[in-house]
Amino acid sequence: MPARRSTLSREQVMVAALELVDAEGLDALTMRRLGSRLGRDPMTLYRYAPSRADLLDGVAELVLAQLTIPQAPADWAEQLRCTAHDLRTLALAHPHVVPLLVTRPLATPLGLRPLGTLRPLEQLLALLTASGFSPVQALQVYRAYVGFLFGHLLTELQEVVADPDETDDLLRLGLHRLPPREFPLLRSLASELARYDGAAELERGLDVLLVGLAALRG
């Protein structure tokens, strides 16, 4: 009598889905590919995720569940700063998931989104209101903060090196292909672009943003 396979859990399916996305990108995430990765008939996976959309939501929830938002209202700005760097760390670990976190909400009204994707919002609102912001101000802070943060992450992930073996920055970034007369400024910034420091740029942006957000509370 053949050995009986162990029963899968939704979490196991989502972990495998995230591993597939990390390895090959979002387009690779199909029931067929996921079934092959798990050694199961793809049809059996529908009991854990009714659709590919549900798989995408589950992957987003799995990543956001790793984000820690400490509740320390005495220093709300420092908590936002720490959360920003934690999210950046997650983004660099799962770069293919970042576009999903940014664009997936466009397809789903707020109240119909998976609870795991809404918990960071609720936690940040709780932190901000405990710090003296009104609920409306807290929502305004959240929108400005997340808009900046996702914009930064998308920008940082675009900093792809064309040829890492090149020592000349213009060639390393592939900027030598740009017509000099049409892109003189962009070509002239090759060295600056090559020295891009995502963590430092994030800190610089947060310095400006948090000063402005603090004024809302006043």
What's the pLDDT tens digit per position in 36-79?
999 999 999 999 999 999 999 999 999 999 998 877 666 899 99
pTM, two decimal places: 0.85
What's the pLDDT tens digit per position in 166-216?
778 888 888 888 999 999 999 999 888 888 899 999 999 999 999 999 988
Q: Cβ(75)–Cβ(22) under 8 Å? A: no
Residue 5, pLDDT score: 60
CA 217 – CA 133 distance, rounded (Å): 5
Hey, what are 27's tokens? 């387009």
Domains for the chain: give ranges and CATH numbers. Answer: 10-159+196-215 (1.10.357.10)
Of 76, 72, 77, 60, whose CA–CA distance to 150 is shortest?
A: 60
For the CA atoms of 25, 26, 28, 33, what is the dihedral angle to 10 degrees? 120
